[in-house]
Amino acid sequence: MKLTYHGHSVVLIEANGKKIIIDPFITGNGQTTLNAEELKVDVILLTHGHNDHVGDTVQLAKKNDATVVAPFELATFLGWKGVNVHPMHIGGAHQFDFGTVKLTQAFHGSAYVEEENQKIVYTGMPAGILFTAEEKTIYHAGDTALFSDMKVIGERNNVDVAFLPIGDNFTMGPEDAAVAASWLKARKVVPIHYNTFPVIEQDPKAFVAMLESGIEGKVLSSGVTFNL
């Protein structure tokens, strides 16, 4: 399995011959080196409906005939826009040909803002994602506060890599994310959702220094790939 971080919360997974992207916020993301016009993906996984996570989903899905996997209400909303969707919900898992996806809870909001209409569209509950393929498991927490059931996620899953938000203000800050890493018993932790906007500026190296001994913190520049 190959994992590439592309800034904010964007993670590209290559597994079982497929390209799977999580939360493809590309246009307007000053951290990413991706070009939505050129990107080839097979599957899009979404944690919630905020614009900085849905991002370029509709364009990418239509251009690539990609399947969008998302919480039910968000999947329904995107299906109305003409994309192929597979709806799921928190606690549910599904085995696809590219791997197994299970949605976990996340403590956040989920709504799509249509600026031109000054309209907010409710898109259901936010989620985290457990993705398993090629005998490896990654956990993408989405946007979330620290919550005690992360201990359960850690007890019931062998998490090889956890992608955790550290930006504070809208999500966990570094201190809470370090606690989350401990509870998840993750072997590796990659900080995400920071420095995209002034209000979420953080020092990722300071976060890594907070991690318990035995947990490897990986600060990744946008576009950097590593193998599991």
pLDDT of residue 11: 98
- CB contact at 8 A, 150 and 167: no
Instruction: Please give the CATH superfamily to which domain 2-220 belongs.
Output: Ribonuclease Z/Hydroxyacylglutathione hydrolase-like (3.60.15.10)
pLDDT digits (tens, 9 = 90+) for 168-219: 999 999 999 999 999 999 999 999 999 999 999 999 999 999 999 999 999 9
Classify residue 186 by burial, with Cβ atoms within 10 Å: 0-12, 13-18, 19+. Answer: buried
pLDDT of residue 47: 98
- How many Cβ atoms from other residues are within 10 Å of residue 182's Cβ? 18
Classify residue 177 by burial, with Cβ atoms within 10 Å: 0-12, 13-18, 19+. Answer: buried
Residue 55: C-alpha distances to residues 60, 72, 117, 121 (Å): 10, 18, 18, 15
CA distance 118 to 208: 39
What tokens does 158 get? 């062998």
pTM for this structure?
Answer: 0.97
Instruction: Give the end-to-end CA distance of the chain in Å, rounded to a whole number.
Output: 5
pLDDT tens-place values along the chain, 228 residues long: 999 999 999 999 999 999 999 999 999 999 999 999 999 999 999 999 999 999 999 999 999 999 999 999 999 999 999 999 999 999 999 999 999 999 999 999 999 999 999 999 999 999 999 999 999 999 999 999 999 999 999 999 999 999 999 999 999 999 999 999 999 999 999 999 999 999 999 999 999 999 999 999 999 999 999 999
